[in-house]
């Protein structure tokens, strides 16, 4: 089986899991985009580790921007 078929199949499985969640007594539970990305990053589908790495890079960049902004306002 080709890698492309595995990736497409994995994407269908993940989207099916999100689409078939069970609702309890009318309460809806929505996941944030970050929570969805975190679920995907922990999944065994090919390329999932890249999602986790991208989240780490984004967190590092955000922390760097916050440090720079904090340094600018304290002067």
Q: What's this model's pTM, rounded to 2 decimal places?
A: 0.52
Domain boundaries, the chain: 33-75
| CA angle (66 as vertex; 57, 72 as ends), nearest 5 | 140
Q: What is the pLDDT of residues 32-72, one digit of tens each?
A: 998 998 999 999 999 899 999 999 999 999 999 999 988 77
At residue 56, the pLDDT reads 93
Are 7 and 47 spatial neighbours (Cβ–Cβ below 8 Å)?
yes
Higher pLDDT, 70 or 16: 70
At residue 10, the pLDDT reads 76
């Amino acid at each position: 089986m080709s890698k492309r078929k595995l990736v497409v199949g994995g994407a269908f499985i993940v989207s099916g899991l999100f689409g078939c969640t069970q609702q309890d007594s009318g309460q809806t539970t929505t996941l944030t985009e970050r929570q969805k990305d975190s679920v995907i990053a922990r999944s065994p589908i090919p390329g999932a580790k890249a999602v986790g790495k991208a989240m780490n890079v984004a967190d590092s960049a955000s922390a760097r921007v916050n440090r720079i902004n904090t340094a600018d306002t304290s002067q």
